[in-house]
């Protein structure tokens, strides 16, 4: 696997990801997605919607707002509890998450079960040093709420305070009654949503792994109490199937169930799907069985009835919820790390290769005239035909070998070359990115060929 430094450079050079606000010296931990990155992001979201919304069991979509009534965050527990333990070193003035410092010192420690004072004592007793100053000159740990606060309207007072949502899930819970009423869905059913979320992370970093602005793809699946663990298993399989079908190496994935004693108070099962990043296994995708916690909290505070009347049994209950939740950028990072390599060819040359499933590849094909003057017009014609259906690219600069390499490096699965033979019999060569093998196809076959390849 390539290093993170290599990937950052690669992403910048190719147009996948640029440093945010670069011309002003940058804004730490913000990233802009270039022509290729924005297409890859879109394709990841479309793949997720296909599997988790369209092909899922009784799922509908939603697009709820980023700014919500602050009572939502009171009910959900975010105002009181969405905080990380912050510890500051007096010498370096650097701030860290105390739980992360403890886990870096001993991966088997369990800071989730420690109070702030216990974490502080642990850090002092174990002589854990600030990586920057090398001292143990620590200030007491304090809770740091990660929600971004702003003001709505012209008056900046407490009454106008609002938060940018730290997760998209609550927008689904607060619309539960609207969703039941308008869709007439019966339980079990689910709601899928993609949208921006914001967290004032203490230690963002590792490129796009942890940022303060990111996009979540969340599914809240409502089911009858007692059936939630079945759905939990179902979704764990679906998450793995999604990753493996899109080409993620099985050896780089593991499912880590949370120990019962470290489950959040509202959860009766939680498993993280982890990926082996350059720094080791870390979270990719969370799956939580959230019981009736969220709907009950909103019922209690809003006084709106969140119960569901089962039309078959006449039972009334608050549904249980199973929630797979993943960040778009984190998946994008995983697809790049999983797919990018430098390959040595038989002739001793190296090529940069990005193996992406055709469904995800930003460009499905590159259309290349072998000789611009002779084949340019025909190639342009094919490009115009294909771009009505797919994201494809036209390239006529430099020799054909260089053009192949350029497409290999950005993950384009097929190069379609127009040559002398094309002028005679309307066939083109199709070169496969991974095997570099070539075959001839008739121009009229191209559309179906690409359509079949991008299916997953």
Return residues touching ligand GAP (CB under 6 A): 167, 169, 199, 201, 210-211, 214, 216, 218, 283, 285-286, 323, 325-327, 329-330
Nearer to ligand GAP, 283 or 374 (CB): 283
- Kindly tell me the burial class for residue 45, based on how many C-beta atoms sit within 10 Å of its own C-beta (0-12, 13-18, 19 or more): middle
Nearer to ligand GAP, 106 or 256 (CB): 256
List the one residue out of 179, 152, 149, 151 whose CA is nearest residue 166: 149
**Minimum CB–partner distance for residue 213 and ligand GAP (Å):** 8
Nearer to ligand GAP, 329 or 419 (CB): 329
**Minimum CB–partner distance for residue 270 and ligand GAP (Å):** 9
Nearer to ligand GAP, 282 or 396 (CB): 282
**Minimum CB–partner distance for residue 194 and ligand GAP (Å):** 12
List the one residue out of 252, 240, 201 whose CA is nearest residue 326: 240
Nearer to ligand GAP, 288 or 386 (CB): 288
**Minimum CB–partner distance for residue 200 and ligand GAP (Å):** 9
In degrees, rounded to 5, the angle at the alpha carbon of residue 270 between the alpha carbons of residues 269 and 274 is: 150
Nearer to ligand GAP, 197 or 359 (CB): 197
3-state secondary structure of 334: helix
d(CA 316, CA 311): 9
d(CA 408, CA 85): 44
**Minimum CB–partner distance for residue 388 and ligand GAP (Å):** 35
Task: Look up residue 137 and give its DSSP letter.
Answer: -
**Minimum CB–partner distance for residue 249 and ligand GAP (Å):** 19
d(CA 310, CA 321): 16
Can you state the angle between helices 328-339 and 35-48, rounded to 10 degrees? 110
**Minimum CB–partner distance for residue 436 and ligand GAP (Å):** 34
Cβ burial 66-77 (10 Å sphere, 16+ → b, else e): eebebebbebbe
Q: How far is CA 97 from the centre of its chain?
A: 23
**Minimum CB–partner distance for residue 324 and ligand GAP (Å):** 9
User: Where in 183-305 does DSSP place strands (E)?
Assistant: 189-198, 213-223, 253-257, 269-277, 280-291
Please name the residue ranges forming H helices in 367-429: 372-386, 400-410, 420-425
CA atoms within 13 A of residue 285's CA, in its CB half-sphere: 26
**Minimum CB–partner distance for residue 415 and ligand GAP (Å):** 33
**Minimum CB–partner distance for residue 227 and ligand GAP (Å):** 21
Nearer to ligand GAP, 215 or 408 (CB): 215
Nearer to ligand GAP, 167 or 419 (CB): 167
Phi first, then psi: give them for residue 367, nearest 5 degrees. -105, 120
Nearer to ligand GAP, 84 or 130 (CB): 84
List the one residue out of 454, 436, 449 whose CA is nearest residue 245: 454
- Kindly tell me the burial class for residue 61, based on how many C-beta atoms sit within 10 Å of its own C-beta (0-12, 13-18, 19 or more): exposed
Nearer to ligand GAP, 334 or 367 (CB): 334
Residue whose Cβ sits closest to ligand GAP: 327
């Amino acid at each position: 696997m390539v290093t993170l430094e290599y990937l950052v450079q690669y992403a910048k050079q190719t147009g996948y990801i640029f440093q945010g606000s670069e011309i002003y010296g940058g804004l730490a931990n913000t990233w802009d997605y270039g022509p290729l990155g924005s297409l890859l992001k879109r394709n990841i979201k479309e793949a997720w919607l296909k599997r988790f919304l369209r092909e899922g069991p009784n799922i509908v979509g939603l697009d709820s707002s980023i700014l919500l009534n602050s009572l939502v965050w009171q009910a959900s527990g975010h105002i009181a509890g969405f905080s990380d333990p912050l510890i500051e070193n007096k010498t370096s003035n650097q701030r860290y998450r105390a739980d992360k410092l403890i886990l870096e010192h001993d991966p088997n420690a369990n800071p989730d079960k420690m109070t702030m004072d216990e974490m502080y004592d642990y850090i002092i007793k174990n002589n854990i040093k600030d990586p920057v100053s090398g001292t143990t000159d620590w200030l007491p740990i304090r809770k740091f709420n990660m929600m971004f606060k702003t003001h709505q309207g012209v008056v900046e007072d407490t009454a106008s305070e609002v938060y940018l949502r730290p997760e998209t899930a609550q927008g689904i819970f607060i619309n539960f009654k609207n969703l039941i009423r308008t869709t007439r869905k019966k339980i079990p059913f689910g709601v899928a949503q993609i949208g921006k979320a914001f967290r004032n992370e203490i230690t963002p970093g590792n490129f796009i792994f942890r940022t303060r602005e990111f996009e979540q793809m969340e599914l809240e699946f409502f089911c009858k109490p007692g059936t939630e663990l079945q759905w939990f298993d179902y979704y764990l399989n679906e998450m793995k199937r999604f990753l493996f079908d899109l080409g993620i190496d099985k050896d780089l994935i593991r499912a880590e169930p949370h120990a019962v004693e470290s489950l959040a108070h509202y959860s009766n099962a939680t498993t993280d799907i982890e990926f082996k990043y350059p720094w080791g296994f870390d979270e990719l995708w969370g799956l939580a069985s959230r019981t009736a916690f969220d709907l009950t909290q909103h019922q209690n505070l809003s006084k709106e009835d969140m119960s569901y009347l089962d039309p078959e049994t006449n039972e009334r209950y608050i549904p249980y919820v199973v929630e797979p939740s993943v960040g778009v950028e984190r998946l994008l990072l995983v697809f790049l790390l999983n797919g990018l390599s430098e390959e040595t060819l038989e002739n001793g040359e190296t090529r940069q290769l990005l193996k992406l499933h055709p469904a995800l590849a930003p460009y499905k094909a590159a259309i290349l005239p072998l000789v611009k003057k002779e084949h340019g017009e025909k190639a342009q014609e094919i490009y115009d035909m294909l771009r009505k259906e797919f994201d494809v690219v036209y390239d006529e600069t430099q020799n054909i070998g260089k053009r192949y390499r350029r497409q290999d490096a950005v993950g384009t699965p097929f190069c379609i070359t127009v040559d002398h033979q094309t002028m005679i019999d309307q066939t083109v060569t199709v070169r496969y990115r991974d095997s570099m093998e070539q075959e001839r196809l008739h121009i009229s076959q191209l559309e179906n060929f690409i359509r079949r390849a991008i299916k997953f």
